Structure 1
Amino acid sequence: MVNTFPALDSISPLWLQIAIVAVWVLFILAIAWAVNRLDHKDPEIVRKIAHIGIGNVILLAWWLNIPASLGITASILGSAVTLLSYRLPILPGINSVGRQSLGTFFYAVSFGVLIACFWYLQQPHYAALGILVMTWGDGLAALIGQRFGKHKYKVFGSQKSWEGSLTMTLVSYLVSSLILLGVQGNIWQTWVISLLVAVVATALEAVSLLGIDNLTVPLGSAALAFLLVEQLVF
């Protein structure tokens, strides 16, 4: 397979890699904080800024070849902080105290699980695929659905919109295609696998409740892509 997205291996010391990731996360949190201070009318915008912005840290982890132990540790710490934020105002604007959804917690957990699995297999692009499908697909689907979703449907009592679900499918397909195209090249399997991942990711997002889609979507997308590539690409 062709890999046009190689890791940057050891071109920089570990402390610099950590600093780059930390600066990016703090930069995104600062933007979310500023938006929250300026406009309290739509907290969902603040959450999605953090959701989409921080999700892209998986690309830094991949390209900088961050050690798996570091990624897993960061996931554990992030999970602990998000759990506390449901009781204490640690992440104002991103989590509301007493909020019923555990989406932010599942979001942090998904990083650790995917890094543990695919860093071990030396195929970090699948972790990136899963996280970015959730980050961009689910994030933009929520924003589009809330603002432009006029055609509603319900799954297990949860209301969705066809506009939001279509956005989820299209963005997930684009994300999956770009990653697989860079890793295995322009072959028919790239486009078919990306389509199947996009459809399954959309279905998982539609049926998930209480924010668990932040776990099921990335894990399901990454696992499906991995299994299909193993079976279809020779």
Structure 2
Amino acid sequence: MENLVSLAISLAYILLVLGLATLVAHIQGGRSEYSRKLVHVMVGNWVFITPFFTSLWAVALVPLTFIVVNALSIRFHFFKAMGREHENLGTVYYAFSMFVLSSAAFLLGWRELAFIGLLTMAYGDGFASLVGRRWGKHHPFSFAREKSLEGSVTVAITAFIVSLACVALVRELHDETKTMNRAWEFGMSASFAIFVTESVLIALATAIFAAFVELTGKNGCDNLSVPICTGVFASLLLRYGSVGMTVYLLVALGILIYAYQKSAITADGIVAAELTAATLYAFSSIWVAASLLLFFIAGSLVSKISNSTKKRGECRQGDAGARNWKQVLCNSLPACVALWLAHFSHNTNTAALICFSVFAAACADTFSSEIGMLSRGKVLNLINMRPVPNGTSGGVTLLGIAAGMAGSALLAIPSAGQYGIRGFLFVLVLGFFGTLIDSALGSTIQQRFADKHGQLMDAPAYPRQRAVVGIAYASNNVVNMLSLILICIFAYFLKGLVVP
């Protein structure tokens, strides 16, 4: 009965919001930014109804319905008050964020995950657009010229207020008997001062992170990135934050900022990398967290080594240049998913071994590719051993194979700190095996295109060119992720060689 009542209240509330937005649009003579943002802000308040749901199907049904309705509205223009003249998928992303966060919050029992993420998106992103349009006169962000400093400050302030309220409430409920009662009994005690300080610091870090994430969102994608990234980041800080974690994240941020200045990573890549760093530190050991930094530093350094042969090879590739969020996630997501699953199944020791293997394989592949392209010798297809042009996916050289072994050995070093020499050898072998898997997949399933001479290349020679070899949309990033997923599987089934 509670679910049916909550569903009825949800439906009545959404219809009320759409009615108000339609009225505003009518008063202003048609669709407007005000009517659209009214829907954006008010729909986010649905999160206040979620605690009354008692079943997952019910809490997920509302945003799933939004996804379908918004997708149809974009196609058939049902609700003109909530759309732009040049529509993107922003409203669908909004509903998908609601589905992911409300469902995850219900399953994990992390109410702040949905509240912080969705309210920051609703109020922060919603008001930022209006503030930016009216008062936005400063545009200092080179990677987001269309967004203003005034709008970003609005996002930060909103995220700070929302996060502080949610963090303080959750922490008070968790520490009610031990900390808060004592604090109120004896006045502004040391325990209460620490409580306030930690809550403010978490909210401040979340506010800065949310504002930066909003800057990197394009074409409505901020409706997806802002709520999910902000909610996860704040929840990790709230539940697993420590002095060590703070220091680690600041070190990671410093490295990423330096890499950005050297054009080794993009702004959205920084978001993905910092969120990965928070996940690794929260759910695993310092050795695993250190392996991420080591991988990024080593990979960025070898990517800067170049000669004329490598430059010609890079012209055949589609993802040369600074790492973006897709490349960061494809190299780290398998490890993060393994940690999330292991954390809630209480098997983190095995997950750490999987993470070491994943990063060793990723580093081996990076070293093999970046250093291998320096070779002026023959490049052979790993499957049929026929010569291929330098820079072609699936091609290997003796220099690249040796570099792959070196990259795997480098990233196997942190594993020795947790598993000893047996763990080092396990990760070394599996990491090197990973680069061979990547080359095999690259030469078989990765999409490749023909240049004007009929030779294969990763990047299309012209817009909308169809792949002549491989599976459509199986890009180098997809191949990287598939190879690392396979490494996760191998590491799991072979873990008995290291973990008792």
TM-score range, shorter chain: 0.7 to 0.9
**Match of residue 201, structure 2, among 166, 179, 192:** 192
* Gap change, CA 1:220 and 1:50, over 3 Å in 2: same
Structure 2 Cα separation of the partners of residues 157 and 226 of structure 1:
27
Structure 1 Cα separation of the partners of residues 93 and 162 of structure 2:
21
**Match of residue 217, structure 2, among 192, 208, 212:** 208
Structure-2 residue corresponding to 1:119: 106
Structure 1 Cα separation of the partners of residues 144 and 123 of structure 2:
24
Q: Which has the higher contact order (CA 8 A, sep 6+)?
A: 1
- 1:226 corresponds to 2:214: no
1:150 positional shift:
1.2
Structure-2 residue corresponding to 1:5: none
Structure 2 Cα separation of the partners of residues 42 and 88 of structure 1:
15
- 1:129 corresponds to 2:116: yes
Listed one character per residue, the Cα deviations across residues 103-126 of structure 1 (whole Å, up to 9, x for unaligned) are 111000001111221210112222
- 1:139 corresponds to 2:126: yes
- 1:79 corresponds to 2:67: yes
1:41 positional shift:
6.5
1:72 positional shift:
1.7
1:153-192 correspondence runs (5 A) = 153-156=140-143, 158-185=145-172, 187=195, 188-192=197-201
SS in structure 2 opposite 1:159? Answer: coil
Structure 1 Cα separation of the partners of residues 90 and 141 of structure 2:
19
Structure 2 Cα separation of the partners of residues 177 and 190 of structure 1:
6
1:38-53 correspondence runs (5 A) = 38-40=27-29, 43-53=32-42
**Match of residue 59, structure 1, among 33, 48, 52:** 48
Which amino acid in 1 is paired with 2:63?
A: S
1:14 positional shift:
2.6
1:183 positional shift:
1.5
Report the count of equivalent residues: 220
Structure-2 residue corresponding to 1:29: 18
Structure 1 Cα separation of the partners of residues 92 and 216 of structure 2:
18
- 1:95 corresponds to 2:104: no
The answer to whether the 8 A contact 1:126-1:226 is kept is yes
* Gap change, CA 1:102 and 1:181, over 3 Å in 2: same
Which amino acid in 1 is paired with 2:131?
A: I
Structure 2 Cα separation of the partners of residues 65 and 14 of structure 1:
5
The answer to whether the 8 A contact 2:31-2:84 is kept is no
The answer to whether the 8 A contact 1:189-1:232 is kept is no
Higher mean C-alpha deviation, range 181-190 or range 75-84: 181-190
* Gap change, CA 1:41 and 1:16, over 3 Å in 2: closer
Structure 2 Cα separation of the partners of residues 41 and 148 of structure 1:
24
RMSD between aligned alpha carbons? 1.8
Structure 2 Cα separation of the partners of residues 28 and 223 of structure 1:
28
SS in structure 1 opposite 2:80? Answer: coil
Which amino acid in 2 is paired with 1:94?
A: M
SS in structure 1 opposite 2:78? Answer: coil
SS in structure 2 opposite 1:90? Answer: coil
Which amino acid in 2 is paired with 1:79?
A: I
Larger Rg: 2
Structure 2 Cα separation of the partners of residues 30 and 17 of structure 1:
20
Identity %: 29
1:163 positional shift:
0.8
The answer to whether the 8 A contact 1:87-1:97 is kept is no
The answer to whether the 8 A contact 1:86-1:96 is kept is no
1:67 positional shift:
2.8
Q: What are the ranges of 5 or more consecutive residues in structure 2 without an aligned counterpart?
A: 173-191, 243-500
* Gap change, CA 1:43 and 1:97, over 3 Å in 2: closer
- 1:109 corresponds to 2:92: no
1:145 positional shift:
0.7
Listed one character per residue, the Cα deviations across residues 1-22 of structure 1 (whole Å, up to 9, x for unaligned) are xxxxxxxxxxx73322222221
The answer to whether the 8 A contact 1:138-1:205 is kept is yes
Structure-2 residue corresponding to 1:148: 135
Which amino acid in 2 is paired with 1:88?
A: F
Higher mean C-alpha deviation, range 171-180 or range 36-45: 36-45
Q: What are the ranges of 5 or more consecutive residues in structure 1 without an aligned counterpart?
A: 1-11
1:82 positional shift:
1.1
The answer to whether the 8 A contact 2:17-2:42 is kept is yes
